[in-house]
Structure 1
């Protein structure tokens, strides 16, 4: 999901099972993604998925995944095997307004490094490494608030 005028592209690894089943980005309500994006502006997420997409687009945020297809049992990134990346340089070339790639978690950044690090078609973009929007706590990211503090690095790229 990326619209004309997008400034920052938030890149997940691969949609989880619920998202694939429902054909909606970040469909699992436990995932913090929508609360993070709205939280950047001190807002609560809209209930309707279409409104959430419109909000993201209005802020200059696009959503996409690093992986086109793979083998995975369940929804955990650690179970991803045989990942084939999406055409990130091709997408970036189609959206000249893009200023930054924001990697939602370590797996998406790992896929970027493996397949696209140093690619001339992406050299003009800032790279932002974000903690995963997954609700699974880590030693450094225990809560939504911990993650939101790091996700604030998106603010300079958002539309007013």
Structure 2
């Protein structure tokens, strides 16, 4: 069994963005299933694709992964993570060590129409104030992770609707 001293730096996934992206959803760092598959939210019990599908009106969950990303971009949603890399055993955010942040300074240039940044869970939500300082509207969301089952799907969806329902 590996010990914490055997941990090596893990590298996250590339951003899924386009110049017309209006809503960016940031996770903390991909879980073990996502890293193994090289796919965002690959764990079968993660509710991400069902939540975003409900927001877009399109059943993204039932699509093959390679079809999900283009459909997400059509709806002007983007995906990325707060961390570019870290050390971690397992998938829990509480196990993250030696975090290395992604370079978000280029977002204004890459996504000039971006106006809302959603944070998938409390860990990623810790950086929301930094995005607010740059003029983005932020929404800290209940995690879509299977480890966060304190809320029902419907309760989570009510909060996630804040990404598209502006006050």
Q: Which range, TM-score by smaller chain?
A: 0.7 to 0.9
In the alignment, what sits opposite 2:123? 107
**How many residues are paired up?**
150
SS of the counterpart of 1:47?
coil
In the alignment, what sits opposite 1:13? 28
Give 4+ residue runs of structure 1 displaced > 4 Å after superposition. Answer: none
In the alignment, what sits opposite 1:98? 114
CA contact (8 A) 1:15 1:25 kept: yes
In the alignment, what sits opposite 1:117? 130
Q: 2:147, 2:100 → 1: CA distance?
A: 25
CA contact (8 A) 2:22 2:114 kept: yes
CA contact (8 A) 1:66 1:86 kept: yes
CA contact (8 A) 1:18 1:28 kept: yes
Q: 1:39, 1:156 → 2: CA distance?
A: 13
Following superposition of structure 1 onto structure 2, how do residues 1-160 of structure 1 map, counting pairs within 5 Å? 1-45=16-60, 46-110=62-126, 112=127, 117=130, 123-139=134-150, 141=151, 143-156=152-165
Q: 2:94, 2:137 → 1: CA distance?
A: 26
Q: 1:32 and 1:96, CA in 2 relative to 1: closer, same or farther beyond 3 A? A: same
Structure 1, unaligned runs of 5 or more: none
Q: 1:156 and 1:60, CA in 2 relative to 1: closer, same or farther beyond 3 A? A: farther
Using structure 2 for the length normalisation, give the TM-score. Answer: 0.82
Q: 1:118, 1:78 → 2: CA distance?
A: 23
SS of the counterpart of 2:68?
helix
